[in-house]
């Protein structure tokens, strides 16, 4: 073609950047540059050619698609594009009435000034990276390079654009496919990598969530009694340690209630272990109903339970709690046509009753109070009053 540069086959599509510069240097007139537009369309589907008057002369198919497919040839650049990102402050040229306004000869940069003349566009060719914003899609920015076409920009300016970091949004907004990009363009590969990364990240997050749930479930299982679902001895020991540490630092005290079921052994022996397990389940529900926020109920083993109640309860409150629990535990329990009757003996200790409460002492005294409740005829609630002269060995009632 007349005036067009020869393209060496060995250069291939990978040399498009060098080719673009060759085109910008060798096309000295607009007529010559028009002959190169088909080549540009094949290599640079996001190119934009603007003449010295700021009118759009040609553009790539993908850029045309992003602009809604409307006819924009011969239209002012400023009608469809803004120089700078959407967050940049843009200004109008003071002189926009002549083909070459005075801004062309001004020393200051005109990269944020846009008029109908196009002189401000010539400033873009002096910059390394150009940022544009689509007027009708301000959330999607364009970035690329600008080259003056012909000697001193006599044929205008050529912009080679891409969606940059807005590639994903552009593909979704304009329904772009891999056919809208040059075969040598890495945009689609990058998009695939982003999607693959998103999928992998999603799977990793899901796996992390499943592992976290499994870990929490395992921890809960390790601290739970498998039969009743209450806390187990290990969980109660940890909670009691925490309560003692808080009390030692001057925090709120606590009340510990130990419960031994009365007549449970007879139920187990006469009606079987299935009935005994059912009774223990009923007991656990009764204890749960007595809990407030921050309290803990645990099965310590066999027919022994413990309540850790936050705060210091008065003797009257303890008596009321004991009467309520004993009353509910004494209600008949029916299972598979048979009726079971149990009760409960409660031993209570309060951290406030100790100058320096210790775990071993508190547990011992709770056991002493429970034994006293059984010795008093079962179905009793006794608040233990600690004394340094008390014996250290007390036999356990059956």
- Each residue's pLDDT tens digit, 10-36: 443 444 455 555 555 555 556 667 777
Buried b (16+ CB within 10 A) or exposed e, 173-196: ebebeeebbbeebebbeebeeeee
Quick one: 8 exposed, middle or buried, by C-beta within 10 A (0-12, 13-18, 19+)?
Answer: exposed
Residue 72, exposed/middle/buried by CB under 10 A (0-12, 13-18, 19+)? buried
Which residue has better confidence, 51 or 362?
362
Helical pair 273-289 and 264-271, crossing angle rounded to 10 deg: 140
pLDDT at 281 (0 to 100): 94
Task: Between 271 and 222, name the one with better pLDDT.
Answer: 271
Q: For the residues 253-259, what does the mean pLDDT come to? A: 95
Half-sphere exposure of 59 (CA within 13 A, CB side): 25
Residues 6 or more apart in contact with residue 387 via CB below 8 angstroms: none
Asked whether residue 186 carries a pLDDT value surpassing 70, the answer given is no
pLDDT surpassing 70 at residue 144: yes
Amino acid 397: pLDDT: 38
The CATH code of the domain at 13-185 is 3.30.450.260
Contact present, 66 and 82 (Cβ < 8 Å): no
The pLDDT tens digits of the residues spanning 50-68 come to 888 888 888 888 888 888 8
Question: What are the tokens at 224?
Answer: 């739970």
Which pLDDT belongs to residue 341? 93
Tokens read off for 163: 């969606």
Strand partners, 268: none
Over range 272-285, report the average pLDDT: 93
Tens digit of pLDDT for each residue in 309-335? 998 899 999 999 999 999 999 999 999
Specify the pLDDT at position 278: 94
For tokens 């890495």, the residue is 186
d(CA 335, CA 337): 6
Locate the domains of the chain by residue range: 13-185, 189-222, 233-383
Report how far residue 398's alpha carbon sits from residue 262's, in angstroms, rounded to the nearest whole number.
9
CA distance 180 to 42: 10
**Between 247 and 396, whose confidence is greater?**
247
pLDDT value, residue 191: 59
Q: How far apart are CA 302 and CA 268, in angstroms?
A: 11
Tell me which of 316 and 392 has the higher pLDDT. 316
Among the residues of the chain, which ranges form H helices?
16-26, 30-34, 37-43, 61-66, 119-122, 167-174, 187-222, 233-248, 264-271, 273-289, 315-329, 359-375
What is the number of other CB atoms lying within 10 angstroms of the CB of residue 109? 13
Q: Which residue has the higher pLDDT, 102 or 56?
A: 56
Alpha-carbon gap, residue 259 to 103, rounded angstroms: 93
Written as six digits, the tokens of 168 are 């994903």
Domain 233-383: CATH superfamily is Reverse transcriptase/Diguanylate cyclase domain (3.30.70.270)
256 beta partners: 308, 349
* pTM exceeds 0.85, yes or no: no
From the CB of residue 125, how many other CB atoms can be counted at a distance below 10 Å?
Answer: 17
- Confidence check: pLDDT of 99 > 60: no
What is the predicted pLDDT for the residue at 187?
61
Lowest mean pLDDT among 83-92, 190-199, 340-349, 373-382: 83-92
**Domain 13-185 identical in fold to domain 233-383:** no
CB atoms within 10 A of CB 350: 24
Residues in the chain: 398
Q: What is the pLDDT of residues 197-246, one digit of tens each?
A: 666 667 777 777 887 887 777 777 778 898 999 999 999 999 999 999 99
């Amino acid at each position: 073609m007349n005036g067009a540069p020869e393209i060496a086959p060995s250069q291939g599509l990978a040399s498009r950047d060098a080719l673009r510069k060759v085109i910008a240097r060798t096309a000295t007139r607009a007529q010559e540059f028009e002959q190169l537009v088909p080549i540009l369309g094949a290599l640079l589907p996001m190119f934009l050619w603007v003449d010295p008057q700021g009118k759009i002369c040609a553009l790539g198919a993908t850029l045309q698609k992003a602009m809604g497919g409307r006819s924009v040839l011969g239209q002012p650049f400023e009608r469809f594009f803004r120089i700078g990102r959407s967050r940049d402050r843009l200004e109008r040229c003071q002189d926009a009435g002549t083909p070459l306004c005075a801004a062309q000869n001004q020393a200051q940069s005109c990269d944020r000034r846009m008029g109908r003349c196009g002189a401000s566009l010539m400033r873009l060719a002096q910059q390394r990276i150009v940022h544009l914003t689509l007027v009708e899609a301000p959330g999607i920015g364009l970035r690329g390079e600008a080259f003056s076409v012909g000697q001193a920009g006599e044929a205008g300016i050529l912009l080679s654009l891409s969606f940059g970091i807005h590639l994903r949004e552009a593909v979704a907004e304009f329904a772009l496919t891999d056919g809208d990009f040059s075969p040598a363009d890495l945009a689609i590969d990058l998009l695939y990598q982003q999607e693959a990364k998103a999928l992998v990240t999603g799977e990793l997050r899901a796996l992390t969530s499943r592992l976290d749930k499994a870990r929490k479930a395992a921890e809960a299982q390790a601290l739970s009694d498998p039969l009743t679902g209450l806390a187990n001895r290990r969980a109660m020991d940890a909670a009691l340690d925490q309560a003692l540490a808080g009390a030692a630092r001057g925090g709120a005290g606590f009340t510990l209630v130990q419960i031994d079921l009365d007549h449970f052994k007879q139920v187990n022996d006469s009606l079987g272990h299935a009935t005994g397990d059912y009774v223990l389940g009923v007991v656990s529900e009764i204890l749960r109903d007595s809990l407030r926020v921050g309290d803990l109920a645990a099965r310590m083993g066999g027919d022994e339970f413990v309540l850790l109640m936050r705060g210091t309860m008065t003797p009257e409150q303890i008596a009321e709690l004991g009467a309520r629990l004993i009353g509910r535990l004494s209600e008949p329990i029916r299972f598979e046509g048979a009726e079971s009757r149990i009760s409960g003996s409660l031993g209570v200790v309060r951290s406030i009753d100790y100058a320096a409460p210790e775990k071993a002492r508190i547990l011992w005294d709770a056991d002493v109070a429970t034994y006293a409740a059984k010795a008093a005829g079962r179905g009793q609630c006794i608040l233990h009053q600690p004394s340094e002269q008390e014996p250290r060995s007390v036999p356990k009632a059956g």
